[in-house]
Amino acid sequence: MKKTLVIFAHPYFEYSTSNVELVKIYEGVENLVFKDLYEEYPDFHIQSFKERKRIRDYERLIFHFPLIWFSIPPLLKLWIDEVFDMTWTTEKNHPLQNKDAIIIVTVGGKAEHYTPQGMYETTIGELLRSLTLSLKVNQIEVKELIAVHNSDDLTKEELTQISEKIKRTLNIS
């Protein structure tokens, strides 16, 4: 498995039965480091230089978070604003170049609500466009976007199936 950094951002993690279960897939995985932004930066004072140094060491980034009001959590947005450096995009071998990313987003709503014809008249991909564009500009290839719909009401069996899908995507046995 590629050397992987999981950037987890959930402001109400302890109340999310789905995410409490899903993050267990990262436990004990070789070459994988799990970072909970809300645990590490409860005051929202991100140590940009430390994060920029850390991010250089990884080949893959996993962004794991809930959809909050049709967007990414505020601390994840701030982390990107503070850590990604626009001057990097002009450098020949910048720290984010040639990495790949996987986005795992938990969504309280049903999948059919997130279609052009659905209740919200948009897709999860469109709602996350600012994140995927930020990654693309920094030459990070998004390999997959996994949307976990109806996340507040998933059964144990459904969570197991989703966990297995994520493990296959990450090549975790």
> pLDDT tens digits, residue range 95-115?
778 899 999 999 999 999 999
pLDDT at 172 over 80: no
**Residue 128: how many CA atoms within 13 Å on its side-chain side?**
28
How far apart (Å, rounded) are the C-alpha atoms in residues 164 and 48? 34
C-alpha 19, offset from chain centre? 12
Per-residue confidence band for 84, with pLDDT thresholds at 50, 70 and 90: confident
Residues 16-72: tens digit of each pLDDT:
889 999 999 999 999 999 999 999 999 999 999 899 889 989 999 999 999 999 999
Which tokens go with 154? 């998933």
Structural domain count of the chain: 1
% residues pLDDT > 90 (the chain):
77
- Packing angle between helix 48-55 and helix 74-83, nearest 10 degrees? 80
% of the chain at pLDDT higher than 70: 98
Angle at 107 between CA 106 and CA 108, to 5 degrees: 125
pLDDT value of position 65: 98
pLDDT higher than 90, residue 14: no
Can you give the CATH number for the domain in which 59 is found?
Answer: 3.40.50.360
Mean of the per-residue pLDDT values for the chain? 92
SS (H, E, C) 114-146: CCCCCCCCCCHHHHCHHHHHHHHHCCEEEEEEE
- Range(s) of the domain holding residue 13: 4-170
Return the DSSP state at 109.
Answer: S
18: left (phi over 0), alpha (psi -120 to 50) or beta: alpha
Asked if pLDDT for residue 133 goes beyond 70, the answer is yes
Looking at 2-144, list the stretches that DSSP marks H as alpha helix, in order from N- to C-terminal side.
Answer: 17-22, 37-40, 48-55, 74-83, 124-127, 129-137
Cα–Cα dist 117/114, whole Å: 8
Res. 173: pLDDT tops 70: no
Average pLDDT in the 2-13 region? 94
Burial readout 56-77 (b: 16 or more C-beta within 10 A, e: otherwise) = eebebbbbbbbbbeeebbebbe
pTM here is 0.94
Does the pLDDT value for residue 148 go beyond 70? Answer: yes
**What pLDDT sits at residue 171?**
84
